Each structure stands twice: as structure tokens, then as C-alpha cells.
Structure 1
Amino acid sequence: IDAILCARGGYGATRLLPDLVPAEVAAANKALVGFSDITALHALWARAGVRSIHAPMAGALAGATEPIREEWIRTLEGRDAPETWTLQPIVAGAAEGRLFGGNLAVIAALLGTPFLPRTDGCVLFLEDVGERPYRVDRMLTSLLHAGWFAGCAGIVIGAFTEGKPGDDGVSTEEVIAERLGNLGVPVIAGFPGGHIDDNEPLTFGAAARIDGDRFTISA
């Protein structure tokens, strides 16, 4: 066995966490592939110091475009060169660190448990689906109050889909900019990853860099 490919997301991964031992995950050293609810397992892999891949799961690969399927394979096999995307800076700047993150709702649900890794020196990636702006505000505010973002090097925002603006007209993008814009770290948005058809794979644990409007992941 070289990798663990999750079949689907939805709900339930957090129930597995008490039965999984980081030291055993580290000893096995198997790549984990998935996203959304699988963020809970990505958190455990991060605590174990093992790389994992935020990418389409088996149930979604059939509907993915050919370029995404090819990128999925390249990422699983290990990139042979750095890859760079041009995104939209919310807070300009430069930062580098180990990449970690995933689904915002799952991360917020892990707050206060022993399973959520610290973010010291990390470049964080966040995405979500079906969360209205006020709910995104609530989750980010809880994480801010808990000091979870303290020490992070920078933040990359992926797709936040199917989240209708509230009656006040405030968008999710505005909430993210307001909540994360005063951390003193670069924040960059528009990474094509999350609950979208062309869900670009990301390797958590890889070295990542933000530089102006450019986001780079090492090989």
C-alpha cells in the first residue's frame, strides 16, 4: 500500500480521530488523498508529520477534467518541479512555510480538541461550501478568539462556493478580507481548490511561498 485514497467526503471523519495514533501514522508514512470532511484526517497527518494531499476523492475523479486527473497523478507521484499560480492579493506581502489547511467548517469543529495542529510557521489554505457569510464570519471569529491564526506565515483562500450573501448584502469575500486582513500576514485569494469541478491538488506538508500575487508549492 502506497497511499490511502478516500472514497468520498460528507461527514464522519472526526469520529475516527480518537482511534488513530499519530506515531503509527508516522511509522506507516502513507499518503492520504481527499478533501472536505477529510480535513479532519489531514489534521492528524499534519500532527504526525506526514504529507497528505488535498485533492479530489475517488467519487469525484470521474467528473474531473483530464488536466485535473493528470495533475492528481503527478501530485500523488511527487512533483518534479515547483508549481506557481497567479492569484489575487487581499493583503500584499511575502511569506513561506509548511502548507496546511482544508475545509474551514471542519477546522472550526476541531477547535478545542487535541486534534487540531498549531499554525506556527504555516501557510494556511482555507475553502468551504454552502456556508453563508455570517457563518464564515462566526467560524473565523472563533478561530481568531482562540488565537489559532497566531504565528501563521500567510493565508491562501480557495473556493468558497454556494454561500449566498445575507440580507445585508455582505459577501463571503468581504467577510474574509475583514476578518483576516489585520493579522499582519499576506493573504491571497482565488486558488482553484475546494468544492469546484477543477479542484487543483495541494500537498499539505510541502514548502509553500506567497510572493505578491504568486503562490508557489515546492516539488
Structure 2
Amino acid sequence: MSSLTLFTPSGALAKAQPLQRAAKRLAQLGFEVSIDADALSRHQRFAGEDAARLAALHRVADAAPSVALATRGGYGLTRLLDQIDWGRIAHSVEHGTRWVGYSDLTALQNGLIARHKGLAMWAGPLACDDFGRSEAEGGVDEVTRDCFTEAMSGALEAVGFRAPTAEFDGLEARGRLWGGNLTVLCSLLGTPHWPKIKGGILFLEDVNEHPYRVERMLLQLQQAGVIDAQVAVLLGDFSGAARSPLDKGYGIKDAVAALRSRTKTPVLTGLPFGHIRTKVCLPVGATVEMYVQGREAILGWQSDARLAHGSHGHDHDHD
């Protein structure tokens, strides 16, 4: 039985019931579930004071469970990045711990791969968001659940998705997979926590950000040379923002078009990832290969053993 620890590194949980529900469901999936002692702590909007959340991260890393699953995202990891003992985090990954989450976990995932080439974490579900919903709220999405359990067992080696059009038919790309939440990722630019990846495959998502804000951040990455240095960009879900009467039809498609007009890097949409019910799991930091046939795209990687102990591809860093 795989051990699984639930921890809260960022925003506070509003109530305990979703966490308890998630723990029960994960146990029913065959995991030996434990909940970190400070998972329900609260200080202002955070899951405890900075020192407590930092200690929880190190505590989980030292225990090195099979799976370290964040309960929720929110905001808070940025406060910890300069204090994290990255060697302890890397040691846990090298010994088989699969750290999982998205949203604010983007900071932890990219902070690790900025320092340790060849190590990977998993962009995937959050315990309360994806396993803690009541049945009245829709319960657990089956695709998300099955993708998660397959990834955590070490069996997941590829995910597929359908792009809106066939404009990238025949595209083949190989590189280090990185990225995550667009807002969080942009906040790392220019810091020691930024992965200087050239020739990679960058994936992005966000929620509650108006399309013009999404465009502005995408163009920031392009103007900084980041987008142009990748072999492909994959865009997930960008929803939740209220439309403005000033938009006059402007939306995410226009933001994507603005980016595409400024870069030769293929920018694909339709990746099933983000603040949505149905999401895949993605190995952040692993070397992946992508193939597109018509509208169908496949993203594949090597076995889980290579993810845990390092996968040395041909991607390289740039200054």
C-alpha cells in the first residue's frame, strides 16, 4: 500500500469536512493516508504562520511518503521560497516521493527544477478541490481520479488531448516539461526560483484572470525571451473571469492570437489542465515527447523510475 500525506502549504482550509472527505476517498483508492499535524492550521489567510508551513514542508520531505498531496492552493509558497531547504525536498523526490498539486504549487515545482535538473514533481489534483467535494457538489471526477491513481502507481506514461483545430498536424517536439499557473510562474521571473529552460515544453493555465491580463502575462514571457526559447507551448484552461462591456468580443482566443503573432513557437490550446474538474497529471521537470496528428495530441514520457531518480534529456539551460 502506498503512503500518502496530505499537507497544506499555502492558503488555509475554510473547514475540515472536505479534508476528511478527501482522506476517506483516497483511503478507499488504496492509499495509506495520513494528515499533517498543521494541515488545518490558520493564520490570517494562510495555513499557519510562515515558519509553521515551512516546517510542514520539511516534515513531509523528511518522512518521504510515496505521495505528498497538497490539500489546496491559494497563496503562500512565494513567502517560503528563499527559506526552503531544497536539498531535503530533492532527497525525498530521489527516494520516490511524488509531490502533487497545481495552482500555488507551481512555485514549489518550478523552484525545485530550477535547482535540480532531472528531478520532477507532478502537476495534478488537489486533495480538497478534487477529492473533497460533496456528492451535491459533483463528487470526484472519474478521469481526474483514474489519471491520478495511474500516475501515482508509476504506470502513467502519456496523456492525450484534442486541440480545437488541426493547424499543428504533424508537429513533433521533445523537451523538458515545465510551467503551471501563469500568474505564479510570472512572479518567479528574475528570481533564483526561475527555471532557465531552453528547448522545453511550457504548459500554462490560470483562473479568474481577465483575458487581457492573461495576454499581458503571455507577452511578458514572450518579450523576456522565454516563449521563443521553447519548442512548444501548451495552454490549458483560462476561465472564471467576468467579461467587461468594454471587451466588444475580445476574449482568450484573441489573447492567444496576439501571442502567436509574435512568436514562431507553436502555441497549442486544449490541454485538459487547470482549475477545472477534469484534469490530467503532468510530470513537471521530466523530459517529454509530443506528437500531433490532426487534432489529436499525445504527450509521453519515460517510466516513473526515471522521473523519481532523474531523466537526463537533451534540453539545456540558458542565461
Distance 1:182 1:5 in 2: 38
Q: TM-score, normalised on structure 2? A: 0.63
Describe how 1:53-132 pairs up with structure 2 within 5 A.
Answer: 53-60=122-129, 61-63=131-133, 64-88=140-164, 92=168, 93-132=171-210
The 2-side partners of 1:200 and 1:24 are apart by 27
Distance 1:210 1:109, change over 3 A: farther
Aligned length: 219
210 and 180 in structure 1: CA distance in 2 versus 1, 3 angstrom threshold? farther
Moved more, 63-72 or 105-114: 63-72
* Structure 1 range deviating more: 77-86 or 188-197: 77-86
Q: What fraction of aligned residue pairs are identical, expressed as a percent?
A: 32
What's the CA shift for 1:81?
Answer: 4.2
CA contact (8 A) 1:90 1:187 kept: no
Pick from 292, 297, 311 the counterpart of residue 211 of structure 1.
292
In structure 2, C-alpha distance between the alignment counterparts of 1:140 and 1:120, rounded to whole Å: 17
Task: Confirm whether residue 52 of structure 1 aligns to residue 121 of structure 2.
Answer: yes
CA–CA distance in structure 2, aligned partners of residues 217 and 86 of structure 1: 15
Q: How does 1:171-182 map to 2 (within 5 A)?
A: 171-182=251-262
**Equivalences for residues 118-197 of structure 1 within 5 A:** 118-166=196-244, 167-168=246-247, 169-197=249-277
Mapped to 2, the partners of 1:110 and 1:82 lie a distance apart of: 28
Are 1:31 and 2:103 an aligned pair? no
Aligned-pair CA distance for 1:58: 1.0
Backbone CA RMSD of aligned residues: 2.0
Mapped partners of 2:177, 2:126: distance in 1: 20
CA contact (8 A) 1:119 1:149 kept: no
Match of 1:41 in 2: 108
Contact 1:83 1:217 in 2 (8 A): yes
Aligned residue for 1:4?
A: 68
Supply the AA of the counterpart residue of 1:53. W
Cα distance in 2, alignment partners of residues 83 and 27 from structure 1: 27
1:18 to 82, 85, 92: 82
State the distance in 1 between where 2:265 and 2:292 align. 11
Report deviation, 1:181: 4.3
CA displacement 1:68-99 (0-9 Å, x = unmatched): 21211111222354333232358623322121
Higher relative contact order (CA 8 A, sep 6+): 1
Determine which structure has the larger strand proportion and give its number.
1
Tell me the SS of whatever aligns to 1:216. strand
Q: Which runs of 5 or more residues in structure 1 are unaligned?
A: none
Q: Distance in 2 between matches of 1:56 and 1:145?
A: 31
- Deviations 1:111-134, CA, capped at 9 Å, x for gaps: 121111123121111000000011
Q: CA deviation at 1:183?
A: 2.0
Q: Structure 1: how far apart are the matches of 2:166 and 2:107?
A: 27
1:194 deviates by 0.4
Compared CA separation, residues 80 and 69, structure 1 to 2 (3 A): closer
Q: 1:164 to 1:177 in 2, by over 3 A?
A: farther
Provide the rounded CA distance (Å) in 2 between the counterparts of 1:86 and 1:44.
30
**Which residue identity is paired with 2:132?**
A
Deviates more, 1:9-18 or 1:66-75: 66-75
The whole-number CA distance in structure 2 between the counterparts of 1:52 and 1:178 is: 31
CA contact (8 A) 2:161 2:270 kept: no
- Counterpart amino acid of 2:222? L
What residue ranges of structure 2 are gaps of 5+ in the alignment? 1-64, 134-139, 303-319
- In the TM superposition, what is the alpha-carbon distance from 1:210 to its structure 2 partner? 4.0
